[in-house]
Every structure is written in structure tokens, then in C-alpha cells.
A and B are shown apart, each in its own frame.
Chain A
């Protein structure tokens, strides 16, 4: 059964303090690993797709990396507007299910 575990559940950082969010996964053949951002009261907003171990993608202050067992979302010099819940999800090659982790609530203090 496909599974996604995210850590930590919540993270408070000072503005400019870099850190990483973790996503550990088990899946029967990885089709894609996805990162989303979700603001309160809104639907998840797509950030990145990673397909194979060693792949990296960047967008502004965010960089996502992938190994065979986990993915990291690195946040460099965050700003208060980066505060949100970050969700990780996987899709296996066996079927079209997309399974999510419980998310990491990130709060950046000014």
C-alpha cells in the first residue's frame, strides 16, 4: 500500500532562517512525487513534480529534491509570505491513485 509520511508536523522559523521539510514514501514503482502549497481556506496549489532519484527542481526560495525513499523541500531565506501548509503526495505506476501525507504547517515569523 502506498504511504507518505511528512515531518515535522509544524515548524516555526524566523524570517531568513533556512530549513528543510521531509517527505518519506513507500510506493510500488514511483510515477511521480508532488509538492503542493495550501493556504488557509483554499485548495492545494501545485509546486513541483519529481520523477526519479537525483532529480531537483527550484522555484524562487524553494528547492525540492528526491531520493529512492524520501524527498526534501528546502526553503532558503524564507519570508512571512512563505507561511502555509506544504503537502507531499505520490503516485505509483500500479494505478492512478494520488496519496497525500498529512502536511507540514510552516510559520515564518517577521
Chain B
């Protein structure tokens, strides 16, 4: 049971380049989340998806887009990367049918924009 899998683990981008961060979960969870973590700022919610086919903005959505491809997969896209988007990105999933609501996290993607 892999849980939540994120790819890639590390990435360096040049300013203005685009990329997509991939996330997949195998726990049959309904909800999925994307967070960014910066030193001293804790985890900040970028976007979330309560169910397949729905997405909603979180605390810091500007500069990002998301796609809930199916129940398992939730991708995060940076259309034109900026140095301010240098961060560690975490994907999480929660809310199994009939279960409790805690979220389970992937191991993160460390993104540097130069």
C-alpha cells in the first residue's frame, strides 16, 4: 500500500518555465489537497478537491492551477514559474467513505525556481 505518491521529488526550473506536479493516492479517499511549505510559514493550502470533478481555492491559489483527473490523481500546474514559488510542495488525501477526516501526506516535491 503506497499511500500518497508525489512526482517528481526534486525539480529546478527557470523563471517563466511551466511544469506539472503529479500526485496519486491509493486509499480510495474522496478529498485531495495541495500545500506549500516555506520556512516559518507552516503549511499553506493552495487548492483542494472535495471529490472527483470539483476543485476549490485555498489560502494561496495565485499562480497555480489544478486538475482532479480522477478519484486517484490530483495535479498542480505552474504555468509561468516565479522565484516566489520556490518551496516544498505537499499533496495529501483524506475522507475515506465512512471514515475519519485526517489527511495523509506524500513525501513532498522540492521546487527551486531560478
Contact = CB atoms under 8 A, between A and B. Distances in A.
B43 A87 contact: yes
A87 B50 CA distance: 22
Interface string A92-110: 0001111111110000000
A22 interface: no
A97 B94 CA distance: 11
B98 to A, nearest CB: 15
B105 A44 contact: yes
B12 interface: no
B44 to A, nearest CB: 8
Contacts of B107: 42-43
Interface in B88-108: 90, 92, 94-95, 100-108
Interface string B1-45: 000100000000000000000000000000101010000111111
B106 A43 contact: yes
Contact of B95 (A43, A96, A99, A100): A96
B112 to A, nearest CB: 15
A2 B45 CA distance: 12
Interface residues of B, number: 28
B23 to A, nearest CB: 12
A91 B100 CA distance: 11
A46 B93 CA distance: 12
Closest 5 CB pairs of A and B: A102-B42, A43-B105, A100-B43, A96-B50, A32-B101
Interface of A: 31-32, 34, 41-46, 49, 87, 89, 91, 95-103
Interface of B: 4, 31, 33, 35, 40-45, 48, 50, 56, 58-59, 90, 92, 94-95, 100-108
24 contacts: A32-B101, A32-B102, A41-B108, A42-B108, A43-B4, A43-B90, A43-B106, A43-B108, A44-B43, A46-B102, A46-B104, A87-B43, A89-B103, A95-B50, A95-B56, A98-B33, A98-B94, A100-B35, A100-B43, A100-B44, A100-B45, A101-B42, A102-B40, A103-B42
